[in-house]
Amino acid sequence: MILNLRREDVEKLHLVKAIIEKEYRHHYTNPQLARKVSTNEYKLKHGFKQTFHMSLYEFLTNIRIEKAKYLLEYTEERVSRIAINVGFPDGGSFCKRFKQRTGFSPLKYRQMRLALNRKRENKRYNWAL
């Protein structure tokens, strides 16, 4: 079913998207988000999916995974710490979601990115000679 969203409704959905992008560590419920932007849960849930072509949960998970990918590549932080830092309740649920999204465990992803970065650095160094 397609919702007939007014401009005001779409603006509220964009506001929710911005809230999630900024506060991705926070564990909002749909009722909390709906109240935060003065809409109802139905419009929030179905309007978000209609507007952005993914559920609120999928959007939030994508944001968290992207943040985690950055931390895995550019820090030496433990995976369990990264999981908590990006908003997952524990390392196990983080590892499961990460592998579902990327096809790799967080440690394997980190190893691959580090190897790729070393390879790039070697090419730059060799080119400079």
Give CA separation, 79 vs 48, 62, 71, 122, in Å. Answer: 31, 17, 9, 27
Range(s) of the chain covered by CATH 1.10.10.60: 69-129
Whole-angstrom distance, CA of residue 92 vs CA of residue 104: 14
Q: Looking at domain 69-129, does it have CATH number 1.10.10.60?
A: yes
pLDDT in tens, 47-98: 999 999 999 999 999 999 999 999 999 999 999 999 999 999 999 999 999 9
pTM exceeds 0.85, yes or no: yes
For residues 103-112, average pLDDT: 97
CATH top-level class of 1-53: mainly alpha
